Structure 1
Amino acid sequence: MKSPSLSLAAGVAALGLALAGCGSSGTSEDGSAGGATRTVTDATGAEVEVPAEPERVVTLHYAATQPVYDLGFMPVGQGVFEPGIVPEDIEEEIESVPVVADAEEPKLEEIAKVEPDMILAPNIYDEEVLAQLEDVAPVYTFTLRGGDRAKWTQRTEEIADALGVPEQVDELQSEFQSRQQEIADTYADVIEDNNTVGVIGAYEENSFYAWGEENMTGTLLTPLGFTWSKQENAIVEDEPEPEATLSNEKIDSAVGDADILFIDSNLRAELNPFMKDLQTTTLYKELPAVRNDRVFAAGKNTVAGYTDANYTLDRVEEALQGIQEK
């Protein structure tokens, strides 16, 4: 993802007018305008004074939006997201939340209009953009890119700290780990017989995405007892992050050793056009996992939070049950 440009500066004058119309969106020095405050340390190490009980939170990326609703909150403004990645039971509610940031940059005037008392921003913005956001409300920066990108549970912990509900993360994690253990125990024989797993996605023409076990989906699958594809691990070994974009011609050398192949989808088990195109290629059709009918849609490879993680476990459990019944 590219860092946003400085084109935001053009909207600063209009932002001032919007803020004047909205009234105060922060707290006074004694905290009286927005209630009590507390100081938290964000993902960059910066100390940020935020409301003790935030009520109007803006999330500038879906990687924060999902943890926010996982933790029992609903944002008043959010970053753009693709159709189908929101759970069906809250889809209508999420879609009613104003979109105040696109894939590249926040929309300052739109953010000001929703009068946030805190902004959750990914660690992709430069200092000038952050300064402009801070004129609207306190900004807590969370981890999206960098060496900790794969640690989706850490990102949820960061969001929970910003929201003042760290205890809720412990509950989510305990329930999730218990479920992983239950699946591992229930389907131990199936996993032992189909032990090697590979995970791929496709996001552009004539190429696919390989994921090593140290990435997000690995934290979901390896605790179940699977062994990651040695080919796939080797391919991403020298990458800055354990993931790589490869031409379709390399599909066999990437996951040809996988007994089971889990592929990227939305939260409806729907595949995007690039993945559908990959599935029409001869090399894909010749993969052992494909010939043995061991390919399954498993939700988003980029795990935003516990909703994504549990959806993947749903699909994996469904796949293992189907194999067991054959």
Structure 2
Amino acid sequence: MTLLNRPSLSASRRAVRVLAGVGAAVLLAAGCGSGSGDDKSSSDTKRRTSSDATRTVKDATGKAVEVPAHPKRIVTLTQEDLDAVLALGLEPVGITNGQGLSKPPAYLKDKVEGIDVVGNLLQPVMDKVVAAKPDLILAGDMQDEQVLKQLREITPATLVTMAPTDEWKLSFRGVGNAVNELDKANKAIADYETAAKKAGAGLGESKGAEVSIVRWNPDGPSWMEKRQFASGVALDMGLKRPKSQNKDGNAHTPSLSLEKIEEIDGDWLFLSTLTPDGEKALKDVQRKPAFKELNAVQDDHVVTVDGSVWSTRGGPLAGRVVLDDIAEALKKS
């Protein structure tokens, strides 16, 4: 069984939540080159049409960054950025391992075969990044200024693509704009939303069911708030969250004690883990009476899912995986 959230990068992220009001929305503000006046018109035209043409966008922190008009060598430092780039039909030259993994995420395995891995999630190995010769680095929610400084020495076209409370659709549109493919990003979101509504409408008796989404940590379960990625997919399908989990936000709750385990109950219970210790803790609790007494357990409505997908900040490809997981489970009931 599996559950959801990014491990132990939380402290630095909480320290920068002031960025949340800025967010990836500023990535949608873009402009072509600068320059005004007739004496510059010829050179500006050449700049915009040549292979090294550039655009200026703002990243998720509000920083103006000059990026290639059509980047050719993209390095992604998070699973979410990788998901976004692949969904836009682009192939990066460098990627990092998946969340909680020592390899790329399994759901993207077929799409990243042969692409160089340049480090772990938000932990790039600088020599490997240099070797990839990037003309654009998508740095996810990187907040380590020293690391960002090193990345910008490799290429000034380094963007923070998400702020702590940004939802995946906003971040995805920002990445789409950064790589000059905003129209494709908007279409991908529209297609996903259409698919989610269709899948939700086809759930039969399970249509509108209450879905509990939980990650099991070594010290207990934590459920996801309504705007967390996987929860958002369920809501896009017309499903509901249990009343005990009907909390606005995009985080996970602190781990619950066994005395509060009823909070994770619902018509359906989707469970994931991210670490071997979490998996062991889940197996241990499944033998306890308190777990066995949950309605979802007694109804055989407990589903194990991939935490490296369900616990992420999300993207269009991950969204399809979660959508399919939910639809497949509920249709069998």
Answer whether TM exceeds 0.5 for this pair.
yes
1:139 aligns with 2:158: yes
Aligned length: 281
Secondary structure in 2 matching 1:227: coil
CA distance in 2, matches of 1:80, 1:187: 34
Change (3 A) 1:275 1:53: farther
Contact in 2 for aligned 1:201/1:264 (Cα 8 Å): yes
Which of the residues 62, 72, 93 maps onto 2:89? 72
Find the counterpart in structure 2 of residue 45 from structure 1: 62
Find the counterpart in structure 1 of residue 324 from structure 2: 314
CA positional deviation for 1:223: 2.9
1:211 aligns with 2:229: no
CA positional deviation for 1:55: 0.7
Segments of 5+ residues of structure 1 without an aligned counterpart are 5-29
1:280 aligns with 2:284: no
Which of the residues 200, 204, 209 maps onto 2:214? 200
CA distance in 2, matches of 1:79, 1:39: 26
Contact in 2 for aligned 1:201/1:301 (Cα 8 Å): yes
CA positional deviation for 1:93: 5.1
The amino acid that maps onto 1:296 is V
Q: Which stretch has the larger CA shift, 160-169 or 279-288?
A: 279-288
CA positional deviation for 1:285: 1.8
CA distance in 2, matches of 1:169, 1:57: 17
The amino acid that maps onto 1:246 is S
Find the counterpart in structure 1 of residue 244 from structure 2: 231
Change (3 A) 1:171 1:285: same
Change (3 A) 1:261 1:115: same
1:296 aligns with 2:296: no
Higher RCO (C-alpha 8 Å, min separation 6)? 2
Secondary structure in 2 matching 1:122: coil
Change (3 A) 1:223 1:62: closer
CA positional deviation for 1:232: 2.4
Contact in 1 for aligned 2:226/2:250 (Cα 8 Å): no
Deviations 1:37-57 (A, max 9, x none): 111111111111111110100
1:123 aligns with 2:141: yes
Contact in 1 for aligned 2:210/2:239 (Cα 8 Å): yes
Which of the residues 253, 268, 271 maps onto 1:244? 253
CA distance in 1, matches of 2:53, 2:104: 38
Which of the residues 111, 132, 138 maps onto 1:114? 132
1:35 aligns with 2:52: yes
Find the counterpart in structure 2 of residue 62 from structure 1: 79
Contact in 1 for aligned 2:78/2:140 (Cα 8 Å): yes
The amino acid that maps onto 2:227 is E
Find the counterpart in structure 1 of residue 42 from structure 2: none
Deviations 1:239-284 (A, max 9, x none): x85421314514533123x111122369xxxx94444444333322
Change (3 A) 1:80 1:117: same
Q: Normalized against structure 1, the TM-score is what?
A: 0.77
CA distance in 2, matches of 1:306, 1:72: 12
CA distance in 1, matches of 2:200, 2:250: 27
Contact in 1 for aligned 2:233/2:319 (Cα 8 Å): yes
Which of the residues 105, 116, 122 maps onto 1:85? 105
1:94 aligns with 2:101: no
State the identity %. Answer: 24
Find the counterpart in structure 1 of residue 168 from structure 2: 152
Contact in 2 for aligned 1:39/1:50 (Cα 8 Å): yes
CA distance in 1, matches of 2:211, 2:229: 14
Change (3 A) 1:63 1:251: farther
Secondary structure in 2 matching 1:49: strand
CA positional deviation for 1:147: 2.3
Change (3 A) 1:32 1:277: farther
Find the counterpart in structure 1 of residue 272 from structure 2: 264
Change (3 A) 1:225 1:33: closer
Contact in 2 for aligned 1:197/1:227 (Cα 8 Å): yes
Contact in 2 for aligned 1:196/1:259 (Cα 8 Å): yes
Find the counterpart in structure 2 of residue 18 from structure 1: none
CA distance in 1, matches of 2:145, 2:252: 28
CA distance in 2, matches of 1:290, 1:59: 39
CA positional deviation for 1:158: 1.4
CA distance in 1, matches of 2:202, 2:120: 43
Contact in 2 for aligned 1:303/1:309 (Cα 8 Å): no
Secondary structure in 2 matching 1:53: coil
